[in-house]
Structure 1
């Protein structure tokens, strides 16, 4: 049973897109028992422009109406923006005031029993090997504001179809989309504390550590370099160009 009614436009998109995804991908989905009842924050790593489609595929097949924080420029765009608005996606505004309003809207949705997906990195990873970067604090802030679970979702495989920031799509041979849903991040020691930057970064580090650990299990290796700081990142063009070629 869906945790929230699926908007009509999402059901129409799913009708056309799901058969395509079933054809061009294999699915290795594990950890669905860790999905809580009621509203919660779903926090996935971000490795491809295809992520929203593949994560939505996973969510809909598990009875969850997908609702993301989306850039305001996308939500306000002609044509495509109407689709996002009709799909009840939550716009994220870049100004400090606008960002705060976006998180309040996300918190309200979670309190209403919805599942809101927030990429903690805020952007597709710039790591040359596609490991998670450090995180921004939006996902944990909404979880702590509402007292609802913060659930990590690790995905690996979308980058084999469309590498980060690349333009060439590789649909065949079929790629396996690995998804691991982890247990909700334990924030019990932080719930009653003031939401200071220290508290938020402590919680965010736990989230990113969980995502990295799950990815390590799937990949059978550990990161060989320190985690990229999402606040000071610089895009390593040569690495991505070499992978795309």
Structure 2
């Protein structure tokens, strides 16, 4: 049984849900794949700043109040930060000594029977056609360390409301929004092994391949043969840039 969010978070949800219903033509499916007897990790693709709302709406309405791993900067925004804290959301401290704390607390959440929601890419996809890209390994590490199942939740349509990196929403007419959960991703052959960089990459690529196939099915299109790798497209640092960083 999922832990019920406090009244402050429920109030915000009850204000946002009617707005989402007004703006989006929902097509939801696959809720039967969301476990009801244990904690789990739900992973999704990321194409718009609206994605957390649509992903969270789907999970909440399915009886699974989401606990997101979100970058710590969001918790520093006065109103937004209070809402996130009231909903037991988890700040991520990338590149600091506290970086591991977020995954440690996520394990506590899973152990008590609640779920964790994650965007494995860690940011909006940089693929020019909005396909899922090569992801970070945090979701895979959490899954392998905790033993929790990973449920893929593909979504498509949020970019019609707010395109990637845009600040200008297109609210009307209502936009179609597809959210679809699939069966747990099979990681059994990887569990119980020493967790190293290679194992994490194998698990991460398997997670993203599943999401990509689901997005392709929703879109009715063929994804690229190789996912976009943001690291390969980063410009090398110059001596001056290194000195300024």
Fold agreement, TM-score > 0.5: yes
Q: Distance in 2 between matches of 1:78 and 1:12?
A: 17
Question: Does the C-alpha gap of structure 1 residues 224 and 196 become closer, same or farther in structure 2, counting only changes over 3 Å?
Answer: closer
Q: What's the TM-score once normalised by structure 2's chain length?
A: 0.91
Query: SS state of the match for residue 109, structure 1?
Result: helix
Alignment correspondent of 1:176: 176
Q: Contact (CA 8 Å) 1:134, 1:229: kept in 2 or not? A: yes
Question: Does the C-alpha gap of structure 1 residues 60 and 166 become closer, same or farther in structure 2, counting only changes over 3 Å?
Answer: same
Alignment correspondent of 2:194: 194
Alignment correspondent of 1:90: 90
Q: Distance in 1 between matches of 2:8 and 2:210?
A: 33
Q: Distance in 2 between matches of 1:230 and 1:45?
A: 15
Indicate whether 1:208 and 2:208 are aligned.
Answer: yes
Alignment correspondent of 2:161: 161
Q: Distance in 1 between matches of 2:217 and 2:135?
A: 20
Q: CA offsets, 1:31-62, max 9 Å, x none?
A: 11111122011111111111111111111110
Alignment correspondent of 2:17: 18
Q: CA offsets, 1:113-172, max 9 Å, x none?
A: 111111100001111111000111111111111111011111000011101101221111
Q: What's the TM-score once normalised by structure 1's chain length?
A: 0.91
- The alignment's C-alpha RMSD in Å is 1.6
Alignment correspondent of 1:238: none
Aligned length: 234
Q: CA offsets, 1:159-213, max 9 Å, x none?
A: 1110110122111121111111111110111111011111111011111000110
Query: SS state of the match for residue 180, structure 2?
Result: strand
Question: Does the C-alpha gap of structure 1 residues 19 and 93 become closer, same or farther in structure 2, counting only changes over 3 Å?
Answer: same
Indicate whether 1:111 and 2:111 are aligned.
Answer: yes
Q: Contact (CA 8 Å) 2:40, 2:148: kept in 1 or not? A: yes
Q: Distance in 1 between matches of 2:179 and 2:21?
A: 15
Question: Does the C-alpha gap of structure 1 residues 127 and 165 become closer, same or farther in structure 2, counting only changes over 3 Å?
Answer: same
Question: Does the C-alpha gap of structure 1 residues 101 and 230 become closer, same or farther in structure 2, counting only changes over 3 Å?
Answer: farther
Question: Does the C-alpha gap of structure 1 residues 80 and 233 become closer, same or farther in structure 2, counting only changes over 3 Å?
Answer: farther
